[in-house]
Amino acid sequence: MSELLNALEDERFPKQSSHPFSDSSPDPSSQRLNRTVLIAEDNEIDRELYRRYLLRNSEQTYQVLEAVTGKEALDFCRLQPDVVLLDYRLPDFEGLEFLKALQAQSGHLSPPVIVITGQGNESIAVQLMKAGAEDYLIKGRLSSDELQFAVESAIEKAQLQRKIRQIEAERQQNLERERIINRIAQQVHRSLDLDDILQTTVQEVRQFLHTDRVLIFSFEPELEWGAVVAEAVVSPWDSVLSNTFHDPCFHRGYAEGYRQGRVMAAADIRTIGLEPCHLEFLESLQVRANLVVPILQKETLWGLLIAQNCAAPREWKPADVDLLKQLATQVGTAIQQANAYAKMAEWNNRLIEVNEALKVTLKELQTTEEELRQQHEQLAHEQQRYQDLFNFAPDGYVVTNSNGQIQEANQAIVDLLAVEPQFLLNQPLACYLASAEDQQAFFIQLNQPHCFQQVQSLELQLRSQQGRTFPAGITITGIYSNGQLTGLRWLIRDITERKQAEAEREHLLQQEQAARTAAERANRLKDEFLAVLSHELRSPLNPILGWVKLLQSHQLAPEKTTVALETIERNAKLQAQLIEDLLDISRIMGGKLTLNAAPVDLATVLSAALETVRLAAIAKSIQLDLAILPSENNAATHLAANRVFGDATRLQQVFWNLLSNAIKFTPNGGRVTVKLEQVAAQNGEMGSRDTRRSATHPSSTSTPLHSSAPPLIPPFTQVTITDTGKGIAPEFLPFVFEYFRQEDASTTRQFGGLGLGMSIARQMVEMHGGTIAAASPGEGQGATFTVCLPLIRSQGDGKLRRWRENNSSTPPTSPNPASPYPSTHPLAGVRVLIVDDEPDTREFLAFLLQDEGATVTEATCAADVLQTMEQFSPDVIVSDIGMPEIDGYMLMQRLRTSQQTRSIPAIALTAYASKSDQQQAIAAGFQRHATKPIDPGKMIALIQELVQPQ
């Protein structure tokens, strides 16, 4: 029965195709409403009658489930059919018994039930309606229209009731949320107890959200430390109230977002790409799902209001986020209120102190007039004596005699030297100099009294009483009496910050010089790359243009003509490959390279890559060997033999790059060996093969190994490509996977290329979750490249399972690619309009299509197209994108607005080859997107595909 229920559920809810180009035009039959009707009737004739009655309805599509007994019907009701047609008397249930059993099983989720009986009985009908039946029909008087009306009425009534219950549940939830917000707001306005407000908030939120833990976290100013100040948590989860936590990665990764008021709603913290240190911190608190709302004080991040689910992941609803944001605002208000109250209390205490001080001052002012006069005279005398000293505050100010002995000092110098004033006076200033050299310079200055007629400035190192040494800027002026030097005034300033600024400025200058050097190096690399690029793009043009000139000016022999055409084709493909490498690098650096991931057999991919380079190896008499080693622990670990989850095309591109590189740098008669094996964990250790040690512990080998990423953890599959070529110099080995890097970039280099193949291979391997490493004993001793990719562990592997779910529907079979040289005229009778402002491309396409039997009309611009369409009605339009005044996108949009040209299929033929360009062409109204240079066979196949009968 369970298998039958699963089959019926799949039939009722068919999976959708994930093919990106599947026809999405609606089937007319799909416009009808789908209804699932369960017929519980032990009479086969009656069941067939009811089914036929229902199928007469042209506005609905009925899926009929049939049950002979009440038990079968109850099992089918778990699938939630739209309505149940119930025979009053079943072999094991009567109508009332079935309704009670259904109510006990499904409650308010029970489907509507229409009871059908052979005899009308008003008493039974009343009982059935009270027991939950939607309608009561009599078999003898039942018609098709009556049955359809009863079924549709019951379904519509049930749908209306479900909607009413949903609206009521949402209304109750909104009322409860408003109640919580109002309660917290009232408490904020009534109470000054911040702790009570915070605790009430977390308790109310936890009860409303039915979550495991709600807490309020308060930050220290540096945002790396903080404590939990309020918490509501249920058993068995640990309480973290009053705990202090340190999250070092919070400040650099998340603080700015919270400071801007952003909210983090994580249904599962393990799947949203958190920093490893932050993820480890949350997992230590038993958190699985996290909803975090910042608590702000103006532009300052005071803390966080956090709801946590510990038992399992949880999808946070917008209403949950809304509630926490409103409560965070209320908490912020409460914090402001508490801070204001604290400041008010502080000012009140200050006012009390000021009042006491005023009382003392009042008593002092009540002194006698004589005392005031004497004090005034004494103050005037002292003011004159100390006026100069305190004019220099807050810098240190010292007055010495002519020998440098301190007579007066202000508070600033006392603080600077960390010495009590009584121990400072009458001491020689020289005892606070840090070094003997400074003391010597100090006494030389004192022995030249005539110098103090002018202001003297110098910098010395001082040492405080506590031993702190600091640089000081000193300004000295002389005090003269009757032309004699009687003392010195010393203005002393701590210039530590200035010295630090100078050191920092010097450091910044060094950094700027280093940056300039790096920029010059980058500019030199750019110039070298552009020179190599120019050489590599121009070199294929030489044989192309040369053979074209010979073909135009000479009547060559057939065999020479064949050689010429093969040379032109080979060099054109070489240029196309160079451009494709540049586009790949652009996509990778722009983060736009995507993978069509699926389970892939690496043995098949390697075999295909080897076939593509075999001719090049044969030309150099290089021996190609492929060794596929069996897995020792495959049965024990349930590993799919050499199967990885990735893009077969991109993986083949990786191995083609490595193989072609090995063949290019291997001399004639050399050897290239490819080995495929598995590295599996066994008894907690690496597998038994020798390669496991070298793949995971590069330091254990004698050959330097430079990898693109940390080593993989077994089990994984490993591909090793070893050649007997020229090897790699040790100084270049660390840069072998960098962009545009070549060991020999000079004009006398032996081997060509842009230096992109290894960097493309590295990026693609890392996108597959793998690593790539290079090793070489040295120049002339060959090289080894090792690619490690994670295996599909078992049939239950998460990636494999998700791929199967997304690809469970059988994808449409793609048509076989057409032969580039068809034997007949496949386009006979097909009318094609070619639109291109480039005459060479236009003439080539016209010749190609006419040679295949098509009738071709040419247009150079959009205006020609609109004029041509008045006399010529094409079956297919082939249009360029980049054209003057009106481009291909604008042209297609105009054609799609006309009733006459709306349905004509079109192909965009353009040099714009990115994924976004393809999507833009399809959105503009094109049916296909083809990139230049176009293969003739592919163009013919595209036209055939568009004109063939649907």
Q: What is the predicted pLDDT for the residue at 18? A: 35
- For 641, residues 6+ apart whose C-beta sits below 8 A from its C-beta are 631, 634, 678
Distance of alpha carbon 856 from alpha carbon 877, whole angstroms: 10
Q: How much of the chain, in percent, has pLDDT values that exceed 70?
A: 79
DSSP 677-696: EEE--BTTB--SSHHHHHHH
Evaluate if residue 154 carries a pLDDT over 80: yes
> Both tokens of residue 787?
């690619």
For residue 626, the tally of other CB atoms under 10 A from its CB is 14
Per-residue pLDDT tens for 93-105?
888 889 899 888 8
Mean pLDDT score of the chain, rounded to an integer? 79
Cα angle, residue 568 at apex, residues 565 and 574 outer, rounded to 5°: 140
pLDDT at 247: 73
Contact between 687 and 727 (Cβ < 8 Å): no
- Please determine, for residue 773, whether its predicted confidence score (pLDDT) is greater than 90: yes
Where does the pLDDT of residue 552 fall: very low under 50, low under 70, confident under 90, or very high at 90 and above?
Answer: confident
Q: What is the pLDDT of residues 651-698, one digit of tens each?
A: 888 898 899 889 988 999 999 999 999 886 544 443 334 443 333 333
What's the pLDDT score for residue 17? 36
Structure tokens at 506: 């010097």
Q: Give the separation between CA 142 and CA 53, rounded to whole angstroms.
A: 10
Query: Over 90: is that where the pLDDT of 771 sits?
Result: yes
Mean pLDDT of 711-715: 70
Residue with tokens 């009670």: 100
Q: Which of 269-283, 435-449, 560-574 has the highest mean pLDDT?
A: 269-283
How big is the chain, counted in residues? 950
Instruction: Provide the sign of the torsion angle of the four alpha carbons 550, 552, 553, 555, taken in this order.
Output: positive
User: pLDDT tier at 246 (50, 70, 90 boundaries)?
Assistant: confident
Amino acid 687: pLDDT: 38
> For residue 697, what pLDDT is reported?
37
**What pLDDT band is residue 161 in, cutting at 50, 70 and 90?**
confident
pLDDT at 309: 92
The string of pLDDT tens digits covering residues 776-834 is 998 888 999 999 998 886 554 555 555 555 554 433 333 333 344 444 688 888 999 99
Of the candidate ranges 129-133, 169-173, 393-397, 605-609, the one whose mean pLDDT is the lowest? 169-173
Average pLDDT, integer, range 443-466 = 81
Residues 857 and 880 sit within 8 Å (Cβ to Cβ): no
SS3 110: coil
Q: DSSP letters of 33-52?
A: EEEEEEEE-S-HHHHHHHHH
pTM of the predicted protein model: 0.36
| C-alpha to C-alpha distance for 586 and 819, rounded to whole angstroms | 32
pLDDT tens figures, 363-382? 777 777 777 778 778 777 77
DSSP H helical ranges for 554-684: 558-589, 602-619, 634-637, 648-664
Residue pair 854/827 in contact by the 8 Å Cβ criterion: yes
Q: What is the pLDDT of residue 672?
A: 94
Q: What is the model's pLDDT at position 139?
A: 84
Nearest to 115 by CA among 149, 138, 141: 138
pLDDT at 231: 92
Q: Residue 263 in contact with residue 233, Cβ under 8 Å?
A: no
Condensed to tens digits (0 to 9), the pLDDT of residues 113-124 reads 999 987 767 787
How far, in Å, are 376, 626, 627, 654 from residue 787 at the CA level?
94, 15, 15, 9
Q: What is the mean pLDDT of residues 211-221?
A: 88
Tell me the three state secondary structure of residue 499: helix
b or e along 414-427 (b: 16 or more beta carbons within 10 Å of the residue's beta carbon)? eebbebeeeebeeb
State the CB neighbour count (10 A cutoff) for residue 488: 23
Q: Quick one: 829 exposed, middle or buried, by C-beta within 10 A (0-12, 13-18, 19+)?
A: exposed
Report the pLDDT value the prediction gives residue 24, as an integer from 0 to 100: 40
pLDDT of residue 354: 85
H/E stretch holding 848: helix 839-851
Q: Which residue has the tokens 């001399």?
A: 667
- Determine the Cα–Cα distance for residues 325 and 261; give it in Å rounded to an integer: 9
User: Buried b / exposed e across 587-615, counting CB within 10 Å, b at 16+?
Assistant: bbeeeebeeebebbebbebbbebbeebee
